[in-house]
Amino acid sequence: MLSKLTDSFRQQGAALWLGAAAVVVVAAVAAPWINPYYTRVMTMGLLCGYLAASWNLIGGYAGQMSLGHALFFAIGSYSVALLARLQDVPLVAALPIAVVLSVALAWIIASICFRYALRGIYFAVGTLLLAEIARILVINSDTLGRSQGLQIPAMEGARNFNFGSDLPFFYIFLAMAVALALFCLVLERCKLGYDLVALREQEEGAQALGVDTNAIKRMSFVISAGLTSVGGVVYAGLVRYVEPGYDLSLTITLFMVMGAVLGGRGTALGPFLGGVVVVIVQELLITVGSQFGTTSVSALAQMIYGLFFVVVLLVFPRGIVGQLLHRRIDRKATQGSVGATVEAS
Amino acid sequence: MLLTLLLVGVVSGVLGGLILALLSTGFNLALGVSRVVNFQHGAVVLWAMYASYLLWEHTGLNPYLGMLFIVPVAFVIGYFLHRWLIARSLDTPEDSQILFSIGLLIAFQYLAQFFFSTDARSLTEESLQHSFIAGPIFLQYTQIVAALVSLVVLVLLHLMLTRTNLGRSLHACAQNPTGARVAGLNVEHLSAVALGIAAACAAVSGTALATLAPIFPERAFEYSLVAVVVSVLGGMGSMSGSILGGLIVGIIIAVSQVTGYGDLAMAIVYALVFLIFLVRPTGLISAIKR
């Protein structure tokens, strides 16, 4: 019975992965032919999905809800903005710098937080406080452009993220998303992935099984932070502008969290789906709002977005993909044995 | 000179701290009784600020008289918000519930932005525009009145929580919801009442803050974070903790303002609270009580 169940679970997973692969191929082929506006929306959707999947490593798989990921995103975007001031240095060089900086910072934060056993709301608020401290410091720093932010001048050449059009960014984000999805797939099937599931379900239990929970929490926080900063670098290369009110705000963190929550925390594909849906919903709200010609459309769109958040959490507490996987398993579980619920998690 | 500055900082810090204490007492009560991390608390403060501003602008009513209308409305809104919406989120895991209340915060904050735009507004009530000078200490009436009103409400709240049947029932819910249910208490109703009282506290502190600071929508997030920070600093789920935390945060803010580091005041507070998180997650009050 149990083996049958795992088989069907694998089939279900395979169907999902095949569907995702088909979507990726269709999107990659169609991108040059469709309206640039849609390409732009899809690019932002992929970015949001990528960021959500990065957040998912610590917030989903490890179950430690970080609300401070804006910090790592901003390390990425600000290192591009600061490098742009130096002559002769290609902006691509921001990539290794940002990754090293954010990995180092994440290592320190994670070592401190998990050493002192910050969990649940304490970890969430603690990381939020760190991001807010960083925001206040940036707002008071002339080098970092205070609250006005920094402009990134247009520079020649692909090594300065200047491709002549925005289309290559679509492919960059697509490649990043595919790579990250494959990474998550591998992660789910290697020891770290199983350890993370054990940790998320019951920390004490995992410790009793010999899992060094602090080490794996730190590991996933560090990987998550590094990946997030890569997203920040490419984002800054695309929009050519950084400001603390966006790059370092709760808004950008909530983009990541929302994508992951809507798609399904702790699933490999969910955050990508969730991220794309979040961006599409926001774009729809703005488009529909501008039809009515209200001046404060964006405020209303943001308000509906907040309500959307609330409704999603009530209706799909496990997220779309999480719900799909779970429903299949629940149905099996009612027919089968208790073992099924274990398999589900 | 430095000593005088410190004295001024401490006095106005205590006054400001009392408002923060009231602000976070509401948050703390909801946390203790209903086990709700209500991040939307700051949004209620914001809406109370706008409500007292609008009442004052259109009728010329003194904001503290206007408060008598706003507080009951806030209580009813808080009560039904919990009954109809927040109570449902309690079935989801703890961290989802935080996100849920952040979603509500965003919704209410941007609803305010939709109606009132991002322009800052100031409530400048004529009868409160005087100041009190004693030697080096310079205080505005608005500060003194706001602090006194907060103090009175805190005392009333304390009496209500310790001397009345309702207060005892709320304590019972906070200590052991199952036990309270067994003893015949309507826990759902009491949780909603706690949220109502939280909203009422937010309304009072919102009115007080409206007379002191410019009003604009981003304040909602700021005040939510302040409520969390003050509660955690003092001790989650404890009223005396909120008061201690409020006074400490108020003094830090005021002292850094008078010494010229006002822009960094909140960064200092957040860093301090982060340290408290690490070494004493139960808050400062537990250290004193021991």
| Contacts with A128 from chain B: Cβ below 8 Å | 225
Which residues of chain A lie closer than 8 angstroms to B85, CB-CB?
Answer: 310
Which of B91, B94, B101, B114 would you mutate first to test chain A, the one with the most A CBs within 10 A?
A: B114
- Summarize the confidence of residues A9-32 as an average pLDDT: 75
State the pLDDT at residue A176. Answer: 92
Q: Reply yes or no on whether the pLDDT at A37 is more than 90.
A: no
% chain B with pLDDT above 70: 98
Buried b / exposed e over B231-248, threshold 16 CB at 10 Å, is bbbbbbbbbebbbbbbbb
Q: What is the pLDDT of residues A181-217, one digit of tens each?
A: 888 888 888 888 888 888 888 888 888 888 888 899 9
pLDDT at B22 (0 to 100): 92
Of B107, B273, B274, the CB nearest to A310: B107
pLDDT, position A343: 44
ipTM over 0.85: yes
Residue B130 resides in a domain: no
Put simply, the answer to whether A303 touches B110 (Cβ < 8 Å) is: yes
The predicted-structure confidence for B212-256, as pLDDT tens digits, reads as follows 888 888 888 889 999 988 888 887 777 888 888 899 999 998 888
Contacts of A255 in chain B (CB under 8 A): none
State yes or no: pLDDT of A5 exceeds 50. Answer: no
Contacts of A130 in chain B (CB under 8 A): 270, 274
C-alpha closest to that of A314 among B103, B51, B204, B26? B103
CA distance B55 to chain A (A): 23
What's the rounded Cα separation, in Å, for the pair B209 and A233? 40
Domain total in chain B:
1
Cβ contact, residue pair B99, A261, below 8 Å: yes
CA dihedral (A252, A257, A258, A263) positive or negative: positive
User: Does residue B172 fall inside a structural domain?
Assistant: yes
The CATH number given to whatever domain includes residue B266 is 1.10.3470
For residue B112, the distance in angstroms to the closest alpha carbon of chain A comes to: 9
CB-based contacts of B221: which residues, under 8 Å, 6+ apart? A250, B42, B105, B109
Confidence check: pLDDT of B188 > 90 = no
**Chain B residues within 8 A (CB-CB) of chain A?**
37, 85, 88-89, 92-96, 98-100, 102-111, 113-114, 117, 217, 221, 225, 228-229, 232, 263-264, 266-267, 270-271, 273-274, 277-279, 281
A 64-103 residues with CB < 8 A to B = 65
Q: What percent of chain B has pLDDT over 90?
A: 25
Pick A326 or B77 by higher pLDDT: B77
pLDDT digits (tens, 9 = 90+) for A81-93: 888 888 777 888 8
Tell me which chain A residues have a C-beta less than 8 angstroms from the C-beta of B94.
Answer: 120-121
Chain A residues closer than 8 Å to B96 by CB: 261, 313, 317
DSSP B236: T
> In angstroms, how far is the first alpha carbon of chain B from the final one?
38
The architecture (CATH level 2) of A2-344 comes to Orthogonal Bundle (1.10)
Domain containing B93: what range?
Answer: 2-116+141-289
Distance (Å) from the C-alpha of residue B86 to the closest C-alpha of chain A?
Answer: 10
Nearest C-alpha of chain A: how many angstroms from B132?
32
- Those of residues 113-132 in A touching chain B at CB distance below 8 A are 113, 116, 118, 120-122, 124-126, 128-130, 132
Instruction: Read off the pLDDT of residues B117-141 as tens digits, 9 standing for 90 and up.
Output: 778 888 777 777 777 777 777 778 8
Asked if the model's pLDDT at residue A180 lies above 80, the reply is yes
Q: Could you count the other beta carbons within 10 Å of the beta carbon of residue A337?
A: 13
Structure tokens given for A165 = 């059009």
With beta carbons under 8 A apart, name residues in chain A contacting B36. Answer: none
In a domain, B134, yes or no: no
Mean pLDDT across chain B, nearest whole number? 86
Nearest chain A Cα distance for residue B286, angstroms: 17
Collapse the DSSP code of A199 into the 3-class scheme (helix H, G, I; strand E, B; otherwise coil) and give the result.
helix
Dump pLDDT digits (tens) for A316-344.
888 888 777 777 666 666 555 444 444 44
Mean pLDDT in residue range B93-105 = 83
Model confidence at A1, pLDDT cuts 50, 70, 90, reads very low
- The pLDDT assigned to A86 comes to 81
Closest Cβ–Cβ partner in A121, A254, A317 for B37: A121
Residues of chain A contacting residue B281, judged by C-beta atoms under 8 Å apart: 118, 122
Nearest by CB to residue A317, choosing from B92, B225, B279, is B92
Å between A30 CA and nearest CA of chain B: 35
| Angstrom distance (rounded) from CA B98 to CA A309 | 11
Give the tokens for residue A68.
């401070």
- Tell me what pLDDT residue B77 has: 92
Residue A342: its pLDDT value, please? 44
* CB atoms closer than 10 angstroms to residue A54: 29
Distance from CA of A18 to the nearest CA of B (A): 30
Q: What is the pLDDT of residue A36?
A: 81
pTM above 0.80, yes or no: yes
Residue A344 is predicted with a pLDDT of: 43
CA distance A150 to chain B (A): 20
CB pairs under 8 A between A and B: 122
Residues of A with CB below 8 A from B106's CB? Answer: 254, 302-303, 305-306, 309
Chain A residue with minimum CA distance to B102: A306
CA A225, CA A114: separation in Å to the nearest integer? 15
**Which residues sit opposite A150 in a β-bridge?**
A242
Maximal C-alpha separation, chain B:
61
Residue A152 and residue A24 in contact, taking contact as beta carbons nearer than 8 Å: no
Domain range summary for chain A, segments of one domain joined by +: 2-344
From the list A35, A46, A99, the residue with the least C-alpha distance to A72 is A99
Question: If DSSP states are collapsed to H, E and C, what string results for chain A?
Answer: CHHHHHHHHHHHHHHHHHHHHHHHHHHHHHHHHCCHHHHHHHHHHHHHHHHHHHHHHHHHHCCCCCCCCHHHHHHHHHHHHHHCCCCCCCHHHHHHHHHHHHHHHHHHHHHHHHHCCCCHHHHHHHHHHHHHHHHHHHHCCCCCCHHHCEECCCCCCHHHCCCCCCHHHHHHHHHHHHHHHHHHHHHHCCHHHHHHHHHHHCHHHHHHCCCCHHHHHHHHHHHHHHHHHHHHHHHHHHHCEECHHHHCCHHHHHHHHHHHHHHCCCCCCHHHHHHHHHHHHHHHHHHHHHHCCCCCHHHHHHHHHHHHHHHHHHHCCCCHHHHHHHHHHHHHHHHCCCHHHHHHC
- Cα within 13 Å of Cα(A163), Cβ side: 14
Which chain A residues have a beta carbon less than 8 Å from that of B221? 250
**Cα dihedral across residues A190, A192, A193, A197: positive or negative:** positive
Distance in angstroms (rounded) separating the CA atoms of residues A132 and A32: 40
- What amino acid occupies position B43? A
